[in-house]
Amino acid sequence: MRSLQYLYLLLVSVVLKTFFIPCIFATSSAVSSAPFYVPQYWKNTNFLRVIDLTTYAVRETTSIVAKNVHSEPIGEYYFPIKEEFDDHLSYIEVTEKKTDKIFQVKKAEFDSLKWVTDLFSTGHVNIFTMQYSSEKNQVYCGKSSKFKNSLLPLNADSTNVNQNQNCSRIQFYKITFDRRIDPNEKIVLVVKAIFTHTLTPYPREIAQTGRQNLLYQGNLYGNSAYPTEQQKTNIKLPTANLISYTEKPGPVSRSGNTVTYGFYYDIKPDAFEKLIVHYEFQEALLTVKGLRRDLEISHWSDNLAIEEHYNLTHDGAKLKGQFSRLQYHQTVYVHQDTTMARDFTFHLPPRASGVYYRDEIGNVSTSRLRSERDKTVLEFKPRYPLFGGWNYTWYYGYNVPLDNFLGHKSGKYILNIPFINPLKNAVYDKVQVRIILPEGASNVKVETPFPVDRETHTVLKTYFDSKGRYLVVLDKYNVVSEYSVPFQISYEYDSLELLRKPLVASTFFFWGFLLSIIYSRMEFTIGKK
């Protein structure tokens, strides 16, 4: 009887794939295109992955020894990331381990359709799985809601794409080498990927002085579009306090704050085995919802004014119950062992001056500034400690000599300054950098070591401006500390433009005095004096 059922299901799947499904794709424009096929020109002879969970952002470093098994030289390699992780990908960099050369990485195809034809090897009755996009741009994993009377029982939930690994949508990244790799030649790649908002507090609420635990979920075998001979994963934790972790399949070992999985052998492409790690993390999970960084250049005063506006949220485990000021003062000696955010530190340029720190209420006096040989350190405390789910907004600013960041070459001025001044253990949802150039600047060009999401060139009018200052606005989402690298803005500026503002101010005051003289000599009375 069971064999007849399997035969029946097999016949139904063949009929659907041969006649019914092609008709769907031929008549409906809402269904996604055919899956992207990665040519199997490579074989990973060794695949070593290190997952760093010591900070809020998950840093994954993968060392791959790839061998060209094709008959011709190859100059590209595909690296897959599942959609649920690609949505949180902030940073990706690929280098050659031997030479430290950085290879070009860009998004390639997006595999939005996966067919599963594994009939009996898993022992499940689910023999057909598809992804279907509706007119509302929704994705269904498994049976579409339009097929209510389908004869095939499916394991996947028709509204949740993440419950079945076979239905995961995959974003492929194309890695382009600086040369072509000959047949049977090997190359060692190091792929560094950083993900944000992939850690979940569990439990979601803790007491005021409670211990915070985080939950990490991922793929035990890593990301590979090619077969792998041997694979190993090391997970680095902030402490040795580990609540639970995936123990099968083995071999699995633990030493201090490190958990090791593997070696595993003969891993198929896109292999998946769920990995769960539950561990203790006694630090604040800081998310900067929005950062606006203003850089104002003044050639007249030879000064660069910097001001940064922060909108900060603590995304850690929320406070269970209400905040107790009495308990807060009674436990002052254990505050360093809790997850509350009590103070912040920023490293400023060595010659920073005129430093201020304010919030919406006004000036905040709980700050300290000290000068060191190579930097100026700003330390301050917010008006209240930050627990999970709490927010705080503030801004600070300072002035530095313009020659610290501005150079002059071939008739052009070049501003070279870091994109952000990172806050320790924080991730940024949005960063906006506004560069306010002097009035009269022209031929402005921007060069960044990474792509930005939006670049806007406009005009900003301030006091005594005749035509306004040139304003460049750079917007980037999902930012981590690795983006605190310098970018360059070049522009032309005639030294005669320095006279523009004094002339405008002089003209303004001249006409003001002239009008006042004329007004004082005018007669507004009726009749003789």
Q: Above 80 in pLDDT, residue 329?
A: no
Q: Above 50 in pLDDT, residue 129?
A: no
Which are the contacts of 418, defined by CB distance < 8 A and separation ≥ 6?
484, 485, 486, 487
Which are the contacts of 311, defined by CB distance < 8 A and separation ≥ 6?
288, 289, 290, 291, 391, 393
Yes or no: say if 232 and 61 are a contact pair by the CB < 8 Å rule: no
Q: Phi and psi dihedrals of 154, rounded to 5? A: -115, 145
Average pLDDT over residues 283-311: 93
Band of residue 119 on the pLDDT scale cut at 50, 70, 90: very low
Cα–Cα distance, 438 to 177 (Å, whole number): 41
Cα–Cα distance, 67 to 396 (Å, whole number): 52
Cα–Cα distance, 492 to 294 (Å, whole number): 20
Yes or no: say if 475 and 432 are a contact pair by the CB < 8 Å rule: yes
pLDDT of residue 337: 74
Instruction: Provide the mean pLDDT of the chain.
Output: 81
Peptide bond into 203 cis (omega under 30): yes
> How far is CA 317 from its chain centroid?
21
Handedness of CA 343, 349, 351, 357 (dihedral sign): negative
pLDDT of residue 472: 95
Lowest mean pLDDT across 145-149, 270-274, 450-454, 455-459 = 145-149
Please give the residue that has the higher pLDDT: either 152 or 502.
502
Q: Where are the alpha helices (DSSP H) in 162-284?
A: none
Please give the residue that has the higher pLDDT: either 232 or 512.
232
Q: Please tell me what DSSP assigns to residue 202.
A: S
Peptide bond into 249 cis (omega under 30): yes
Average pLDDT over residues 325-331: 75
Band of residue 31 on the pLDDT scale cut at 50, 70, 90: very low
pLDDT of residue 123: 34
Cα–Cα distance, 224 to 233 (Å, whole number): 13
Band of residue 498 on the pLDDT scale cut at 50, 70, 90: low
pLDDT tens, position by position, 453-492: 999 999 988 776 667 789 999 999 999 999 999 999 999 8
pTM over 0.85: no
| Side-chain-facing half-sphere of 257: CA atoms under 13 Å | 13
